[in-house]
Amino acid sequence: MEKTTIELPSMYGDHHVIEVRRILLEMPGVDEVYASSGFQVVEVDYDPEKTEAADIKAKIEEAGYTQELSVSVETGEAAYQGSNGNVGEFFRHTAVFEQTQQGVSFTQEVSYAGQPLWPCPGMGVVKQVEMDE
């Protein structure tokens, strides 16, 4: 048996640990999987005659766990919607309503681009499946 360790920056919760273990334990030759969302690392014991470390890493890359977790960051500057010309820029909009005299509302305008707002590898958009009767 051999051992390989892979850093997984996108594995940040227990639901990811379960998914990573499921993916890797389905591979032939994988004997033991230790995954830690706290340390964002997975350690795999495998039989080199049945699989290779490169295959294990490729499988986990395919699931999206080796990519850096991208989180939108506010600019820190006041912005008016559409005034700066940067469509993809992320900023917070503040509004005060005259009716309430004291009400302040914070919203963030985010457009859906075919992926979840917070990337979650292994937990993609639910697809509708037609069942055969």
What local confidence, expressed as pLDDT, does residue 15 receive? 87
What local confidence, expressed as pLDDT, does residue 87 receive? 47
Which tens digit of pLDDT belongs to each residue from 17-68? Answer: 999 999 999 999 999 999 998 899 999 999 999 999 999 999 999 888 888 7
Nearest to 124 by CA among 10, 9, 2, 44: 10
Q: How many CB atoms lie within 10 A of CB 112?
A: 8
Which tens digit of pLDDT belongs to each residue from 59-100? Answer: 999 888 888 776 666 556 555 544 555 545 555 555 566 776
> Which distant-in-sequence residues (6+ apart) come within 8 Å of 16 by Cβ?
8, 10, 35, 37, 65, 120, 121, 122
pTM reported for the whole predicted model:
0.58
Whole-number average pLDDT of the chain = 75
